[in-house]
Structure 1
C-alpha cells in the first residue's frame, strides 16, 4: 500500500487496462461536458445577438438597459458558483448537471415570450444561477477522475469548447435569424431563444443516461467492476467532511489553498480583460481614421478566441508533458500582459501593432484550463469538499471583480485606446507573475511536509510503532 502511494506521488502507475479506461472516460465525460459548455456559451451570448437583430426595437430598450441585464447575469452567475459545487457533493452529477441544463434551457425558451427588458432581466438572473454549475462543476469532475499527467489536456479541451462557442455562436444565431424571421408570427430573435433551448435538451438526456458521476459512486453500465476499482486506485484516498458545517468552514479558511487560488484566478481573470471585454471590436468600431464594415467588425475579432484555443491546447498539453508545471502559464501571462499593453501605449496610432497585440493577448485564455488543473493537482490529497469549494470560489471571486473592473478600466467610452486599462493590465500582469511565484513556493513547502509525513508513517508501520513510538508488534510465538 505504501509503495503504491509513493508510486502515485511520482506518477509511475501504469496498471493493466488503464488505457482502455481512460479512453472510455474521455468519450463519456468530455463529450458531455464539452457539449454542455458549448451550449452554455450559446445561451449566454445569444442576448447580444438578439439585441442587434430586432429585440432592442421590439421591446423598446433604452439607455444602458442591456448593460444592466448583463450585470444582473454576472451577479447570478457569481452567487451560484459555490452552492452548485457543494450540491455536487450531495447530488450525483448525472442528475445535477442535466437538471441544471433543463432549467436553463427552459428559461432560454421563456425569454422568447418576454415583452419588456425587465422580463429578460429577471429571467437572466435565474438562468445564470443554473449555468454557473457548468464551468467549475466540470473542473471538479475532471479532477475526480484524471491523474496529474492527464488533467491538463482534458481541461484544455473543455475550455476550448467554450471558446469555440464564442467563435461560431454568432454565425449560428445569424443563420437562425435570417431563415426563421417571421415564421409562425415570431420575430427572428425570439426563434433564437427557442432553438437554443430545444437543442440543449438532448444533451441533458445524454448526460442523465450515461454520465459516470465520480469514481466513488459511479454506476456507469459501460465500466466493469475491475475498471471501477482501477478508477478508484488512480486517485488518492482522501477523508470526507460535509461542506455544510461550521467545522468545515473553519477548516476551509484556515488553509492557504483558498486564499492563494482565489487571488490567483482574480488576477488571471483580469489579464483576460482584453479578450473578454471585446476590446479589439471596440477599437475597430471607434477607430479615429478608418471606417470598418459591420462584417469586418464582427469577423476580425474572432481571431482572438482562435488564438485562445490554440494557446489553451498548447499549454495544457505542454504542462502535462512537463509533469504538471502549470505555473509556467502564470509567467507567460505576466510577460504577455506587460508587453502587449506597453506596445499599445507606445504606439497609439499604429493599427497593425494594435491588431497584433490584441491577437497575442488572446493567448492568456490558456490560464483557464491550466490554473484550474493546477488547483486540482495541488488539492488532490485534500478532501473532495475542500477541492470543490476552492474551485468554485476561484470563479466566484473573479466574477465578483469583473462585475465592476470592466466598467472602471474598459468601458466603451474609453475606446479606442483604453489608456487607463493598459496601465491596469501592466499592474495585474506583474502581480500575476509575483503571485504565481508565491504559490509555487507554498506548494513546494506543502509537498515537502507531506513527503516527510508519508515517510514517517511508513517507517512507523514497518517497525510496528505508532506515532508516539510505542511498539505494537505482535509478539513472536516461542
Structure 2
C-alpha cells in the first residue's frame, strides 16, 4: 500500500527529496516561485484574452469594427510581443527578476485600464502594441526562472502548472465577461465589455506588488528572506555539475555560441510550428463560430468556448506529469498533433452536426499540452549554458509569434466565420509538420548525447583557464 502511494506521489509530484533540507527548500520555492509566476501569468492571460471576449460581447458593434480589424488587433499585439521578447529575457539577466517582472506587470495593468476608455479601434491598436511588449516578459522569462531552480524530473510539472495558470486566466475571462455583461452592463453609463477591462486591471496590480516582496530571483543572486544560507547553497548544488545557472557578462561570444549549435535552430523551429496548433483557442475561433451561426446569447458565446480551455488545462497537467515520470518529452507533442488532426478533419466535414463541432473545438484544446513540455525540453537541452538557455527560450516564443503575426490574417480572418475552411486545412498541415520536427529535434538531441559520451567535455574551470589564456569566451566550447 505504501509502495503504491509512493508511486502515485512520484507520478503526480515527483520523487520525494531524500534530505529534510532539500524537502524544505523545494517546498519554499514551490510556494513562492509558483505562487507569483502563476498569478502573474493568470493576470497576463486574463488581460490578453479579454479582447476576444469583449469582441463578442458588444465591443464590435460599439466601436463599429469592420472586416479584419479584430484580427489586426491581435496581430499588432503579437508584433509588440515579438519586439519585447529577447530584450525582456536579457533584461532579467541584468536586472533582478523580482523588480523587472512586477514593473512589466504594472505597465500592462495600467494599459488594461486604458483600454476601457477607448472610443475607436485605432486607440486599441496603440495600446495593444505596447501591452504586448510588456507582457512578453512573462512567459519565456518564467520558463528561464523555472529552469534555474528545478531538476529535470521536477521541471515538467512546474512548467505545466505555470502554463495551466494562463489557461485558467483564459477560462476565467470568459466566465468573468459573461457575469460582467449580465450584472454591470450600462452601470455608470459603461458597457459590460468596458467593465471587464477595469476589473482585469484591478486584479492585476496587487499581484505585481506581491512579486516585489516574495520573488527570489535566481539561485546565484537570491537574497530571499525566507531562504537560509544553507538553502541558497543547496539550490545551486542540487541541480548537478552539468547545469549552468551562474550569471555571466553579456558578450559577442554568446552570439557565436548560440548560432554555431543546432539548439537555437531546432528548438525555435519546433515551437514556431507546434505553437500554431493553438490557433483555434488563441483566436477564439469557437466564439466567432457561435456568434456567426447565431442562436446563442452573449453569455453563451462567452461560456461555451471555456470547455476547450478546461480540456487544455487537464491535458497540460496530465501530460507533464507523464513526461516527468517517464523521462520522455516528445510523446506529448505527438498526442497533441493527433488530437488537432482529428479536430481539423471533424470541422472540415461539410454539414457535420453541431455536437461533432463542439467535440472538435474542445478536442483542439489538447494543443496547449505541448507548450509546457516543449519549454521544459528546451530547458533540459540547454541546461549546460545559462545564457544560451535564455536566448533559446526567448527565440522559441519569438519565432512562434512572428508566425502568429500573420497566421490569423491569412488562415482565420473574421470574415471567414463560421466555416474557417482554410484555417482547418492549415491546422491539419501544421500538426503533421509538428510530428516531423519533433522527431528531428529528438534525433539531434540523441546525436549530441552520443557525441558528448565519446568526447567528454572539460570541466568549467579547465575551460575558463584554457579560453582566458586565448582571450576567448570561457564557455564558448562547452558542449557541442
The TM-score bracket by the shorter chain reads 0.7 to 0.9
The match for 1:389 is 391
In structure 2, relative to structure 1, the CA distance for the partners of 1:409 and 1:243 (3 Å cut) is farther
Pairwise CA distance, 1:32? 0.4
How many pairs are equivalent?
445
Measured against aligned partners, the alpha-carbon deviations of 1:375-429 in whole angstroms (never above 9, x if no partner) come to 01111112x1110111111111111111212222222333444333333222222
Task: Name the stretch that deviates more: 28-37 or 110-119.
Answer: 110-119
Measured against aligned partners, the alpha-carbon deviations of 1:297-341 in whole angstroms (never above 9, x if no partner) come to 332221111110000000000001112x11111221232233333
Provide the C-alpha distance between the structure 1 equivalents of 2:143 and 2:255, rounded to a whole number of angstroms: 21
The match for 2:356 is 353
The match for 1:129 is 133
In structure 2, relative to structure 1, the CA distance for the partners of 1:428 and 1:99 (3 Å cut) is same
Pairwise CA distance, 1:30? 0.6
Contact residue 145 and residue 214 of structure 1 kept, 8 A? yes
In structure 2, relative to structure 1, the CA distance for the partners of 1:64 and 1:335 (3 Å cut) is closer
Correspondence 1:165 to 2:165: no
Provide the C-alpha distance between the structure 2 equivalents of 1:397 and 1:375, rounded to a whole number of angstroms: 15
In structure 2, relative to structure 1, the CA distance for the partners of 1:63 and 1:423 (3 Å cut) is closer
Correspondence 1:226 to 2:247: no
Contact residue 70 and residue 414 of structure 2 kept, 8 A? no
Pairwise CA distance, 1:56? 4.8
The match for 2:253 is 247
TM norm structure 2: 0.85
The match for 1:279 is 285
In structure 2, relative to structure 1, the CA distance for the partners of 1:293 and 1:232 (3 Å cut) is same
Provide the C-alpha distance between the structure 2 equivalents of 1:248 and 1:426, rounded to a whole number of angstroms: 37
Structure possessing the higher radius of gyration over alpha carbons: 1
Is there any run of 5+ residues in structure 1 with no aligned partner, and where? 1-10, 461-478
Provide the C-alpha distance between the structure 1 equivalents of 2:259 and 2:64, rounded to a whole number of angstroms: 47
Provide the C-alpha distance between the structure 2 equivalents of 1:357 and 1:55, rounded to a whole number of angstroms: 27
Provide the C-alpha distance between the structure 1 equivalents of 2:205 and 2:383, rounded to a whole number of angstroms: 33
The match for 2:45 is 41
TM norm structure 1: 0.85
Correspondence 1:379 to 2:382: yes
Contact residue 116 and residue 197 of structure 2 kept, 8 A? yes
Is there any run of 5+ residues in structure 2 with no aligned partner, and where? 1-14, 463-480
In structure 2, relative to structure 1, the CA distance for the partners of 1:438 and 1:205 (3 Å cut) is same
Provide the C-alpha distance between the structure 1 equivalents of 2:378 and 2:123, rounded to a whole number of angstroms: 38
1:414-433 matches, cutoff 5 A? 414-433=416-435
Task: Name the stretch that deviates more: 171-180 or 247-256.
Answer: 171-180
Provide the C-alpha distance between the structure 2 equivalents of 1:229 and 1:86, rounded to a whole number of angstroms: 24
The match for 1:20 is 24
Provide the C-alpha distance between the structure 2 equivalents of 1:439 and 1:13, rounded to a whole number of angstroms: 31
The match for 2:332 is 329
Provide the secondary structure at the position in 2 that maps to 1:251.
Answer: helix
Provide the secondary structure at the position in 1 that maps to 2:304.
Answer: helix
